[in-house]
Amino acid sequence: MKKRVTGLGGIFFKSEDPKASKEWYKKHLGIENGQYGGTFEWRHAENPKKKGFTAWSVFDQKTEYTDPSTKDFMINYRVENLEVLLKTLKDEGVEVIGEMEVFEYGKFGWIMDPNGIKIELWEPNDEEYDKIKGETNMSS
């Protein structure tokens, strides 16, 4: 079977005060972040010339982005061939949330795990993401 998840695409969590949380993480952990959070840049093990990215973002406690989950966090996984994966997951009885969305920097889909956690699936276009990450880059 083809690999489904290829890596960690991002970590997102809710905060009562997102600005203060971003400042705390910057001051104490050195996570530079802009309007949409931070970006950690890394290289693919099988092709070190190829960049990859992991996003880090703080959302307001009232965000609807993680709905219908009631959890205070959401994990984004990097995947290959999102369209086929979403169909396969649905056929396996996994709850698919909404419709797949397509942007220059990749395709996104959402599912619910058995614990009520919304999971974001991202088929990245790293070349385009590299163009928009801007001041949020954290090379690792």
Task: State mean pLDDT over 70-88.
Answer: 95
Those residues with Cβ within 8 angstroms of residue 130's Cβ, 6 or more apart along the chain or in another chain: 51, 53
| Residue 139 is assigned to a structural domain of this protein | no
Alpha-carbon gap, residue 133 to 59, rounded angstroms: 17
- The answer on pLDDT for 138 being more than 70 is no
Query: What's the CATH code of the domain at 42?
Result: 3.10.180.10
In a domain, 23, yes or no: yes
Residue 48 lies in a domain: yes
CB–CB of 137/130 below 8 Å?
Answer: no
pLDDT confidence of residue 139: 46
Q: What is the pLDDT of residues 26-78, one digit of tens each?
A: 999 899 888 778 889 899 888 899 899 999 999 999 999 999 999 999 999 99
Q: Is the pLDDT of residue 113 over 80?
A: yes
Find the domain containing 54 and state its range.
5-134
| Residue 99: pLDDT over 80 | yes
Round to whole Å and give the CA distance between 100 and 61. 24
Distance of CA 87 to the CA centre of its chain: 20
Sequence-separated (6 or more) residues with CB below 8 Å from residue 83? 100, 107
Buried b vs exposed e over 95-126: b needs ≥16 C-beta within 10 Å?
eeeeeeeeeebbbbbbbeeeeeebbbbbbbeb
Mean pLDDT, residues 99-112: 95
Is residue 112 included in any domain, yes or no? Answer: yes
Mean pLDDT (the chain) is: 89
Confidence label for 140 from pLDDT (cuts 50, 70 and 90): very low
pLDDT at 135: 46
Asked if residue 83 belongs to a domain, the reply is yes
Reported as a pLDDT band with limits 50, 70 and 90, residue 1 is low
Residue 140, domain member (yes or no) = no
| SS3 assignment for 59-109 | EECCCCCCCCCCCCEEEEEEECCHHHHHHHHHHCCCCEEEEEEEECCEEEE
Question: How many domains, the chain?
Answer: 1
